[in-house]
Amino acid sequence: MSEIKIENVCKSFLSKDGNVDALKNVSLTIESGDIYGIIGMSGAGKSTLVRCMNFLEVPTEGKVLIDGKSLGDFSKKELRKQREEIGMIFQHFNLLMQKTVLENVCFPLYIQGKKKAEARKRAAELLEIVGLSDKQKAYPAQLSGGQKQRVAIARALASDPKILLCDEATSALDPQTTSSILELLKDINQRFGITIVIITHQMAVVREICNHVAILKEGEVVETGLVSEIFNNPKSAVARELIRKDIDSGAGGGRIGTQPLIRSGEIIRIVFSENSAFEPVIANLILTFHEPVNILRADTKNVGGVAKGEMILEFAKDSENAEAMKQYLRERGLAVGEANDYVD
Amino acid sequence: MWTKEVINMIIQGIGETLYMTLVSTLIGYLFGIPMGVLLAVSDKEGLRPNPVLYKVLDVIANITRSIPFLILLILIQPFTVFVVGKSYGSSATIVPLVVAAIPFIGRMVESSLKEVDKGVIEAARSMGASDLRIIVRVLLVEARTSLITGATIAIGTILGYSAMAGCIGGGGLGDIAIRYGYYRYQADIMVVTVVLLVLLVQVFQTVGMAIANRLDKRK
Question: Where do the structural domains in chain B lie, given as residue ranges?
Answer: 4-215
Strand duo A195-200 + A163-167: pairing = parallel
**pLDDT of B145-197, one tens digit each?**
999 999 999 999 999 999 998 888 888 999 999 888 888 888 888 899 999 99
The yes-or-no verdict on residue A259 having pLDDT over 80 is no
| Average pLDDT taken over every residue of chain A | 88
Q: Using 50, 70 and 90 to split pLDDT, how confident is the model at A191?
A: very high
Interatomic CA distance for residues A297 and A277, integer angstroms: 16
CA angle, residues B35, B39, B43, in degrees to nearest 5: 170
Nearest CA to A200 out of A221, A223, A216 is that of A216
Average pLDDT over residues A74-87: 94
Question: Using a CB-CB distance cutoff of 8 angstroms, which residues of chain A are in contact with residue B138?
Answer: 96
Q: Is A56 on the interface with B (CB under 8 A)?
A: yes
ipTM, 2 decimals? Answer: 0.87
Share of chain A above pLDDT 70, in %: 92
Phi/psi-derived region of residue A28, left when phi > 0, alpha when psi is between -120 and 50, beta in every other case: beta
Nearest CA to B41 out of B133, B105, B179 is that of B133
Question: Using a CB-CB distance cutoff of 8 angstroms, which residues of chain A are in contact with residue B119?
Answer: 90, 92, 94
Are the beta carbons of B16 and B171 closer than 8 angstroms?
yes
The distance of B29 to chain A (nearest Cα, Å) reads 22
| Strand partners for A11 | A23
The distance of A107 to chain B (nearest Cα, Å) reads 8
Q: Where are the beta strands (DSSP E) in chain B?
A: none
Of A84, A141, A165, Cβ closest to residue B217: A141
Which of A75, A98, A109, A137 to mutate to test binding with chain B, by most B CBs within 10 Å of its CB?
Answer: A98
Question: Using a CB-CB distance cutoff of 8 angstroms, which residues of chain B are in contact with residue A110?
Answer: 137
Q: Is A35 on the interface with B (CB under 8 A)?
A: no
Q: Is B219 on the interface with A (CB under 8 A)?
A: yes
Amino acid at A95: L
Please report, in tens digits, the pLDDT of each residue of chain B (219 residues total).
Answer: 678 888 999 999 999 999 999 999 999 999 999 999 999 999 999 999 999 999 999 999 999 989 999 999 999 999 999 999 988 899 999 999 999 999 999 999 999 999 999 999 999 999 999 999 999 999 999 999 999 999 999 999 999 999 998 888 888 999 999 888 888 888 888 899 999 999 999 999 999 999 999 999 987
Q: Is A107 on the interface with B (CB under 8 A)?
A: yes
Q: Which CATH number fits domain B4-215: 3.30.230.70, 1.20.950.20, 1.10.10.10, 1.10.3720.10?
A: 1.10.3720.10
- Contact call for A56 and B126, based on CB within 8 A: yes
Which of B122, B125, B126 to mutate to test binding with chain A, by most A CBs within 10 Å of its CB?
Answer: B126
Q: Is B215 on the interface with A (CB under 8 A)?
A: yes
Nearest CA to A22 out of A64, A71, A57 is that of A57
Interatomic CA distance for residues B41 and A308, integer angstroms: 53
Q: What are phi and psi of A273, to 5 degrees?
A: -100, 180
**pTM as predicted:** 0.82
Nearest CA to A165 out of A140, A194, A187 is that of A194
For residue B154, the surrounding DSSP H or E stretch is helix B144-164
Are the beta carbons of A303 and A228 closer than 8 angstroms?
yes
- Contact call for A107 and B128, based on CB within 8 A: no
Burial A101-119 (b: 16+ CB within 10 A, else e): bbbbbbbbbbbeebeeeeb
Burial A156-166 (b: 16+ CB within 10 A, else e): bbbbebbbbbb
The yes-or-no verdict on residue A57 having pLDDT over 60 is yes
C-alpha distances out from residue B210 to A89, A302, B74, B200, B215, Å: 34, 54, 37, 15, 9
The distance of A306 to chain B (nearest Cα, Å) reads 35
The distance of A73 to chain B (nearest Cα, Å) reads 16
Q: Using 50, 70 and 90 to split pLDDT, how confident is the model at A254?
A: very low
